[in-house]
Structure 1
Amino acid sequence: MDIGKKIRALRLGNNLTQEELANRLELTKGYISQIENNLTSPSMQTLFSILEVLGTDVHEFFSIEEEQTVVYKKEDFYEKENDNLKHMISWIVPNALKYEMEPIIIDLEPGGQSVIDDPHAGEEFGYILEGQVTLVLNKKRYIVRKGETFYYPANKEHYLINHSHQNAKVLWISTPPMF
């Protein structure tokens, strides 16, 4: 572990100059520079003081964080086609069930529809990327066109239908994950 580099990153994350950090600790700017460049090692007491000023502690500082994936590529997606309902669903965030939201992209062929979703807790949001769809929400129908969005509490039966003659593509997000 590069202690100096980690201290520098914390200092910069707190918008402090070396001089400002040194002044808060009654140390010299040169000594802070030496620590950050791994030219010297601080005493345990000095390290504890530095970490306190930087808003962390020894346990957090030395913990090895597992790198969290934040960017997903096309090859990470999981796709499932439903020939009967004429749609394909792409789960665009792997393992979304462990998160608060579950985003999918659903491609609906002309005459296609999503699975009829029974009422459940949560909310749903959609953005029409291509074409147009009919949102059926508790028997009421809403036409939603490219560039438009929908948003509703999911406590009523709901699904999408593509009544048009062209494909439709929808970014659909459910919270909690339901797809």
Structure 2
Amino acid sequence: MDIGHKIKQLRIQKGLTLEELASRSELTKGFLSQLERNLTSPSIATLDDIVEALGSSLSEFFREEKEEKIVFGKKDFFVDEREAYTIHWIVPNTQKNEMEPILLELPQGVSSFEMGPHSGEEFGYVAEGCVTLVCGEASYVVHKGETFYLSGKNGHYLKNEKKTTAKVLWISTPPLF
């Protein structure tokens, strides 16, 4: 790990000059300059002072960011065959993300799980078939190629009243499925 470069990146990210960081960490501007150019190395105690002055911790500082996976294929999907319907988890580990997409398969005469009231929002795209979106006391028919978008303030679910299987791309924010 290039400690000097990482300190400089953090300092710039925080909008601090070398002078300001020197003042906060009680070190000299010259020492910090040499450190950022890898001309010297800090002790653990000094590094801890610098990182603390940058609003971080040693554990965060040394945490290596894993390369973020962006594209997912069928081998990444998890298929959850429930008693009445099937959920395809099409992006793994989405609990850590801001939104959670699933592909829901609803056979004829089946209803999905009911989403209780929550503070998020949801989007759905009917890829195949036709579903009825039941939201509170209201219901809406959503055909193939149509979408729905709603806040989570009311409980809601989908049901398939047609004779063919429906497939719905359903996205929730925050992750709730």
Which category of TM-score, normalised to the shorter sequence, fits these structures? Answer: 0.5 to 0.7
1:94 aligns with 2:96: no
Q: Provide the C-alpha distance between the structure 2 equivalents of 1:57 and 1:38, rounded to a whole number of angstroms.
A: 20
Instruction: Report what 2:124 is aligned to.
Output: 127
1:129/1:39 CA distance change after superposition, 3 Å: farther
Say how many residue pairs are matched.
170
Aligned residue for 1:149, secondary structure, equals strand
1:129/1:33 CA distance change after superposition, 3 Å: farther
**C-alpha contact 2:136 2:155 (8 A) present in aligned 1:** no
**C-alpha contact 2:4 2:35 (8 A) present in aligned 1:** yes
1:129/1:21 CA distance change after superposition, 3 Å: farther
Give the superposition deviation at 1:31: 3.1
Structure 1, unpaired ranges of 5+: none
1:140/1:174 CA distance change after superposition, 3 Å: same
Give the superposition deviation at 1:67: 3.5
Instruction: Report what 2:148 is aligned to.
Output: 148
Q: Identity rate of aligned residues, in percent?
A: 36
Q: 5 Å matches for 1:34-45?
A: 34-44=34-44
Aligned residue for 2:132, secondary structure, equals strand
1:73 aligns with 2:68: no
Task: Return the TM-score normalized by structure 1.
Answer: 0.61
Aligned residue for 1:144, secondary structure, equals strand
Task: Return the TM-score normalized by structure 2.
Answer: 0.62
Aligned residue for 1:128, secondary structure, equals strand
**C-alpha contact 1:134 1:163 (8 A) present in aligned 2:** no
One-letter code of the match for 1:38?
N
Instruction: Report what 1:56 is aligned to.
Output: 56
Q: Provide the C-alpha distance between the structure 2 equivalents of 1:45 and 1:129, rounded to a whole number of angstroms.
A: 58
Q: Provide the C-alpha distance between the structure 2 equivalents of 1:121 and 1:168, rounded to a whole number of angstroms.
A: 21
Q: Provide the C-alpha distance between the structure 2 equivalents of 1:106 and 1:117, rounded to a whole number of angstroms.
A: 8
Q: 5 Å matches for 1:100-179?
A: 102-106=100-104, 112-113=107-108, 115-117=110-112, 119=114, 121-123=116-118, 125-128=122-125, 130=127, 133-137=131-135, 141-144=139-142, 146-152=146-152, 155=155, 158-161=157-160, 163=162, 169-173=168-172, 177-178=176-177
Q: Provide the C-alpha distance between the structure 2 equivalents of 1:118 and 1:168, rounded to a whole number of angstroms.
A: 15
Instruction: Report what 1:18 is aligned to.
Output: 18
Aligned residue for 1:50, secondary structure, equals helix
Give the superposition deviation at 1:48: 3.6
One-letter code of the match for 1:52?
E
**C-alpha contact 1:122 1:174 (8 A) present in aligned 2:** no
One-letter code of the match for 1:173?
S
RMSD: 4.4
